Structure 1
Amino acid sequence: MSDFSVRLDKWLWAVRIYKTRSDAADGCRNNKVLVNGAYSKPSRELKPGDTVTVKKMPVTYTYRVLSLVSSRQPAKNVPEYAENITSQEELDKLNMPRQTIFVQRDRGTGRPTKRERREIDGLMEEMYREETIEDES
């Protein structure tokens, strides 16, 4: 099956990395997909052996192209076409406890004002910065 070429967006959709082909194309256009370490257009032709990196927050997945396919495959057939070589460190990010903040608002006060929204965003940003500093140490 590897005697033909397949577009990147079509392959990403066929091996179930994205739900739709247009989602795959948008991911490429928004620099969320790299092929062999370089950002790629949706029309890029793939070859077996290429490494495809997909950024889906919070994890950056890495796949090796084993074979080319242009039609959507059942999940059980995906390992024939793509090998998931994502590092364990990245996969562990999926199991991290999600820290959520619930901001209490009194009933009937309506939506936050622009000023209140900026204060909430500032608080969230500050907490995120503290979290990343802790991760680096």
Structure 2
Amino acid sequence: MRIDKYLWCIRVFKTRSIATTACKKGQVKMDGKNVKPSKDIFGNELIIVRKNQINYQIKVLDLPESRVGAKLVDIYRKDTTPKEEFAKNELLKYAKDYYRKKGTGRPTKKDRRDIEDYTEDSEENV
């Protein structure tokens, strides 16, 4: 079975074309090498998929005939992603909290003046 079709069948990607694009961009790896969407896969292979800044590690257990339901996905794959990958994603969330909250709009005059004061101070120290 093609790797892009497999990733679509086990619901890693919503559509097969998204899975194909991810393979072409180098977000899907086997044995540490990028794979083309047409690469055939077999049982007991380890696939690394980079999605949402997380490197998912998926072990192929079996090949489905077609796209399977969400409850049946674990029959065909085993997720061996380490917990540290998810912890890194949590740290990124906290790093983004420094910036303005979504929906607060453009910076006000006071915000702009504060930014200018900060940048002028940092230029004097250099």
Measure how far apart 1:65 and its partner are: 0.3
CA RMSD of aligned residues (A): 2.1
What TM-score do the two structures reach when normalised by structure 1?
0.68
Query: 1:67 is aligned with what amino acid?
Result: D
Measure how far apart 1:44 and its partner are: 0.3
What TM-score do the two structures reach when normalised by structure 2?
0.74
Measure how far apart 1:71 and its partner are: 1.1
Measure how far apart 1:69 and its partner are: 1.7
Partner of 2:25: 30
SS of 1:46's partner is coil
Partner of 2:107: 105
Measure how far apart 1:95 and its partner are: 3.3
1:1-137 maps to which residues of 2 (within 5 A)? 6-96=1-91, 97-98=93-94, 99-100=96-97, 101-102=99-100, 104-106=106-108
Alpha-carbon distance in 1 for matches of 2:88, 2:9: 25
Query: 2:66 is aligned with what amino acid?
Result: S
Measure how far apart 1:70 and its partner are: 4.1
> Would you say the 8 A contact 1:10–1:70 is kept in 2?
no
Count of residue pairs the alignment pairs up:
103
> Would you say the 8 A contact 1:7–1:42 is kept in 2?
yes
Larger of the two Rg values belongs to structure = 2
Alpha-carbon distance in 2 for matches of 1:91, 1:106: 35
Alpha-carbon distance in 2 for matches of 1:69, 1:35: 19
Structure 2: tracts of 5 or more residues without a match = 110-126
